[in-house]
Homo-oligomer: A and B are copies of this chain.
Amino acid sequence: MGKVYKVALLGFGTVGKGTYRSITVNAAEIKRRTGLDIEVSRILELKEEAINCGIAPKEIFTQDINDILNDPEIVAVAEIIGGKEPAATFMLQAMAAGKNVVTPNKALVAARYDEFKAAAEKYGVEFRYEAAVGGAIPVIETINRSLWANSFNQVQGIVNGTTNYILTKMDEENMSYEEALKQAQAKGFAEQDPTADVEGIDTANKLTILMAEAFGVYMPPTEFERVGITGVTKADLEAAAAKNCKIKLIANAERQADGTIKASVKPTEIPCDNPLAGVRNEFNAILLRCNMADDIFLEGRGAGQDPTGSAMASDLIAICVELAK
């Protein structure tokens, strides 16, 4: 039996479970593709309900972060606690302990991008966050690696499923904003306090990350125009339809003639021949306008246990593959 690469999860909520499942359910497939055995050896979780859910064996749970930080066999830590603290402190502590770090925490990555990148460099570890933008869609990897022979002219995205669901229902089923929001909440696509989604805050966090990757420019989400969807009316949607357009909450960043990047998050009329116009309900999509490849369009699930978990797992695998070289 060869070396087993051990990773730890901080938090065992929805995305934690999906990360665990992606690594365990697909262990044989991951081995076929990479030659590696990867194991979730520890999970930090306080809630009894999560510990007892039956997805992961109880004996790998701990309530003490030090069991993970001090375990020399653990090569990577996935932060899936959410929020600001203790998530940020745990990530920085894990890096200081020489562990590679993965997170889907878009708000934290967007707010403290330079700090986490600097810490990762200082401690010689990787800091990855594929799941932070577009859920299951491998947009970070596509920008940073698959399309690295390109320079990007523009990045346009629908990166918030809640608002896209609401706009789709308003457009296709003639619902009011309030009715559509209520249905989104009933289906679990919107929080009880939907502010971060409907005001475009979540989308702005993701745009900050997309811009940093595509253009190498860090622009905090507070430094560009942000308009949510609460002001979108049926009349707006009808006016757009008359022009053969759909209104979508678009994260947009484009290179200006002077080389600077102009960014905004706002409801935007998208012509129906742009593939973003056809992205319906809770789906996410990103259109990358490249100087050589021309337009590359990616669509998929922006949220959900297994979809987001698979993006977390892809980062963990990438780290183990590098270590194995």
Contacts and interface: CB of A to CB of B under 8 A. Distances in A.
Interface residues of A, number: 54
B310 A150 contact: yes
A30 B299 contact: no
Interface string A291-309: 1111111111100101101
Nearest to A23: B149
Interface in A19-38: 21-23, 25-26, 29-30, 32-34
A104 interface: no
A316 B292 CA distance: 15
A9 to B, nearest CB: 14
A144 interface: yes
Contacts of A317: 148-149
Nearest to A295: B300
A296 B137 CA distance: 7
A325 interface: yes
B290 A294 contact: no
Of A147, A306, A325, most buried by chain B (CB within 10 Å of CB) is A147
A183 interface: no
A275 interface: yes
Contacts of A312: 149
A162 to B, nearest CB: 18
Contacts of A144: 33
A138 interface: yes
A136 B149 CA distance: 10
Of A32, A146, A296, A311, most buried by chain B (CB within 10 Å of CB) is A146
Contacts of A30: 148-149
A292 B304 CA distance: 10
Nearest to A138: B146
B301 A293 contact: yes
10 contacts: A25-B292, A29-B151, A138-B146, A138-B147, A148-B317, A149-B317, A150-B310, A290-B310, A293-B306, A294-B306
Interface of A: 18, 21-23, 25-26, 29-30, 32-34, 136-138, 141-142, 144-151, 216, 273, 275, 278, 280, 290-301, 304, 306-307, 309-314, 316-318, 325
